[in-house]
Amino acid sequence: MGGVPILVVQPSKFDPPGRLGEWLREAGADVDVVLPADQSLPDDVEAYRGVVVLGGEMGAFDDSEHPWLADVRSLLSRAVTAEVPVLAICLGAQLLAAVTGGQVRAARKGPEVGPGLVAKRDVAADDPLLGPVPLTPDVLQFHVDEIAVLPPSAQLLASSPKSENQVFRVGSCAYGLQFHIETTTETVLEWSRLRPELADAARPGSLEPERLDEVHDDLAETWQPVAERFVRFAAAPPEERTPRRFLPLA
């Protein structure tokens, strides 16, 4: 498969597509990266077969400092309405929740930072993207806000003790991931340098380069196949994007 057009929205220059971009391209995606702080978002979201929205240091409603956030929310709303598959990560997931009726706030139990695990819900066993994922997949957290209330139409797919709404699906094809899967060791080290107060919230030693190298190897085992399934999901006709239908890797 080749040439599946995927729009990647990069809210922050400090959170590039990284390995996720590589995984999407290797799976056959034609990736178009747009930084909304510097570039206009496309008017026609249906020109793409899928949309990815990455994370960033800003909050979901920090429009006074980042007025383009309204444009990202609008794009997500249009994608959901048009049933264009969405993969929204960290800030992206919070924006997706906000535009579909959920609530975002400062994390009640404090920042969630560093390597960790999330637990799949039973219903995720039938999900076309999450179904084959291990019961407690490795993730990388770096957030101070959380999705406090899911949108009314959302299905919760994974949770963690500190922040319940870790993975959710709105409708049949819009996914939100509160954690990061796109990072590299260098990216996380840069975040730690820029936000030392957040890095201090991580477990001792968990943000050391050697530990992060190990974590990113573990992340790739789980989340590269998910990225590959997302490309196939985006390329599939809408009638095939249903629960209980896994999208094979070959």
Check: CB of residue 45 under 8 Å from CB of residue 34.
no
- pLDDT number for residue 243: 54
How sure is the predictor about 242, in pLDDT bands with cuts at 50, 70 and 90? low
3-class state of residue 31 by DSSP: strand
Structure tokens at 109: 């139990």
- Residues 183-241 have pLDDT tens digits of 999 999 999 999 999 999 999 999 999 999 999 999 999 999 999 999 999 999 887 77
- The 8-class DSSP code of residue 86 comes to E
Query: Taking the model in full, what pTM does it have?
Result: 0.94
Q: What is the mean pLDDT of the chain?
A: 94
pLDDT at residue 246 is higher than 50: no
Strands 4-9 and 174-177: unpaired
Burial degree of 208 (CB within 10 A; 0-12, 13-18, 19+): middle
3-class state of residue 99 by DSSP: helix
- pLDDT number for residue 248: 44
- The 8-class DSSP code of residue 21 comes to H
Alpha helix ranges (H) inside the chain: 18-26, 69-82, 91-99, 185-194, 196-199, 209-235
Rounded distance between C-alpha atoms, residue 239 and residue 241, angstroms: 6
Provide CB contacts within 8 A for 69, sequence distance 6+. 11, 36, 58, 60, 61, 62, 63, 95
pLDDT at residue 245 is higher than 70: no
Rounded distance between C-alpha atoms, residue 188 and residue 12, angstroms: 14
Rounded distance between C-alpha atoms, residue 77 and residue 57, angstroms: 21
Rounded distance between C-alpha atoms, residue 169 and residue 233, angstroms: 14
